[in-house]
């Protein structure tokens, strides 16, 4: 169990212990520690775990009650824009190029090790493996970013920022955002989906338990409602990945 001496504080309003349990790499531990130190929260009955090679997730370590706040990410740590284009541009400066004074953060370091490439940037052999899968327009994000967002060819940093935004961003209340911890919750719908996201612009992104969560159960976000038609093709359009997950962590 990680302890950040001198900066852990009790958030009575949320009745959460600001203690992060992380069984993984040092960068992930530093990331969660940083969010907590900056006034965020991470429920003590969950931990970030390495679930496979390069595959992280968040798992309940003991029973979590319905409605419990699992994580609170302060707005100051979030990269947000009014639309996907704006978010990607800001992400390029703050998370990839790190040109802003406060951009050298644990979140930026964490994302630096993430392979965010979308199918349009895969090797030809990998593209061939998905050639017959719908929707077959694997380069649509790259085309949109160049022709509909930047109106010019992107730099390498901008392209990477776009990949990160498409693969990891959340949205709500009129904003598109990239947020630490939020994107460590893997995607899964149906009976496995057990969280609810509250977006409070200029305050925080809050992850809550949408039902009781059993000890040992993985905690899942959702990047699309299960009731929507053609869900799998829609998800593939957004963030197709050869790994058995959304590509969040």
Confidence at residue 2, expressed as pLDDT on a 0 to 100 scale: 37
- Check: CB of residue 187 under 8 Å from CB of residue 46: no
Distance from C-alpha of 166 to C-alpha of 237, rounded to nearest angstrom = 10
Confidence at residue 29, expressed as pLDDT on a 0 to 100 scale: 87
Confidence at residue 234, expressed as pLDDT on a 0 to 100 scale: 43
Residue 202 gets which letter from DSSP? T
Q: 99-117: per-residue pLDDT in tens?
A: 776 667 899 988 988 888 8
Tokens 């991470």 -> residue = 42
Confidence at residue 49, expressed as pLDDT on a 0 to 100 scale: 92
Among residues 10, 52, 33, the alpha carbon closest in space to that of 181 is found at 33
What are the residue ranges in the chain where pLDDT is below 50? 1-20, 225-237, 239-249
What's the chain's average pLDDT? Answer: 82
Confidence at residue 101, expressed as pLDDT on a 0 to 100 scale: 65
The DSSP annotation for 89-139 comes to HHHIIIIIS--STT---HHHHHHHT-----GGGS-HHHHHHTTTSTT--TT
Distance from C-alpha of 73 to C-alpha of 1, rounded to nearest angstrom = 20
Q: For residue 64, list its beta bridge partners.
A: 213
Among residues 167, 147, 143, the alpha carbon closest in space to that of 88 is found at 167
Q: 147-176: per-residue pLDDT in tens?
A: 999 999 999 999 999 999 999 999 999 999
Confidence at residue 131, expressed as pLDDT on a 0 to 100 scale: 82
- Cα separations (Å) of 151 from 118, 159, 166? 20, 13, 18
pTM: predicted TM-score of the whole model, two decimal places = 0.81
Residues 201-204: contacts with CB under 8 Å, at least 24 apart: 201/75, 201/80, 201/173, 201/174, 201/175, 202/75, 203/74, 203/75, 204/40, 204/72, 204/73, 204/74, 204/75
């Amino acid at each position: 169990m990680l302890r950040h001496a001198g900066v852990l504080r009790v958030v009575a309003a949320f009745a959460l212990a600001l203690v992060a349990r992380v069984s993984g790499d040092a960068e992930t531990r530093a990331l969660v520690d940083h969010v907590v130190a900056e006034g965020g929260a991470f429920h003590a009955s969950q931990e970030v775990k390495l679930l496979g090679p390069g595959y992280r997730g968040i798992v309940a370590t003991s029973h979590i009650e319905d409605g419990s706040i699992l994580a609170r990410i302060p707005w100051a740590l979030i990269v947000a824009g009014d639309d996907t284009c704006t978010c990607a541009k800001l992400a390029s400066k703050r998370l990839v190029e790190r040109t802003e004074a406060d951009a050298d953060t644990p979140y930026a370091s964490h994302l630096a090790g993430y392979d965010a490439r979308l199918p349009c940037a895969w090797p030809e052999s990998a593209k061939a493996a998905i050639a017959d899968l719908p929707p077959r327009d694997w380069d649509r994000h790259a085309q949109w970013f160049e022709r509909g967002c930047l109106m010019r060819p992107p730099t390498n940093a901008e392209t990477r920022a776009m990949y990160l935004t498409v693969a990891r961003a959340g949205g709500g209340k009129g904003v598109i955002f990239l947020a630490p911890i939020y994107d460590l919750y893997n995607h899964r719908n149906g009976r496995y989906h057990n969280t609810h996201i509250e977006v409070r612009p200029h305050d925080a992104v809050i992850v809550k338990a949408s039902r009781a969560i059993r000890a040992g159960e993985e905690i899942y976000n959702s990047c699309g409602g299960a009731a929507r038609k053609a869900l799998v093709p829609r998800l593939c359009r957004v963030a197709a990945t050869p790994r058995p997950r959304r590509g969040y962590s």
